[in-house]
Structure 1
Amino acid sequence: MTGIRTAAQAKAWLEHQGKSVQEFAREHGVDPATTYQVLAGRKKGKRGEAHKVAVLLGMKDGIIAPDSAAKYDELP
């Protein structure tokens, strides 16, 4: 990716792919409501699920940490 997308660009990107917000959320295992909130600017994507959504949409440069629940599944 060459740059960070604005919310309008992220919406256009989804439309260009022919994907709804719901479909995008299902594919990436994120909450659809959080995805809508990030796209609307109500959540800034600073941490947690909103951060993950913002990174996946290309609205933020960042790292998506592995699911912490998976770490506990591996314990003896």
Structure 2
Amino acid sequence: MADTYAPEQACKDARERLERKGITVRAFAAQHEIHESTVYAVLNGQKKCLRGEAHRAAVLLGIKEGTVAQ
């Protein structure tokens, strides 16, 4: 079975993008109405990001390609 977790480098790049923009994880989560703990789990590679809030966070963070219902 294929590894479905986000690649470590993609997570690192997403953290760096937030840092460059001066956005905290808390602010990102609040802005997009996502639980802060979910954003941290996605950034740490602890979620598969296949569906739901984790998928939405991964797409918005640029970790994976996909669409997000607004």
TM-score, with normalisation over the residues of structure 2?
Answer: 0.83
Higher relative contact order (CA 8 A, sep 6+): 2
TM-score, with normalisation over the residues of structure 1?
Answer: 0.77
Sequence identity percentage: 45
Unaligned runs of 5+ in 1: 67-76
Quote the RMSD (CA, aligned, Å).
Answer: 1.2
Which of 15, 18, 24 is the aligned partner of 2:22? 18
Unaligned runs of 5+ in 2: 1-8
Could you tell me how far apart the structure 2 residues matched to 1:44 and 1:64 are?
Answer: 16
1:30-67, Cα deviation, whole Å (9 max, x unpaired): 1100000000000021000000000000001001134x
The number of aligned residues is 62
Structure 1 segments (4+ residues) deviating >2 Å: none
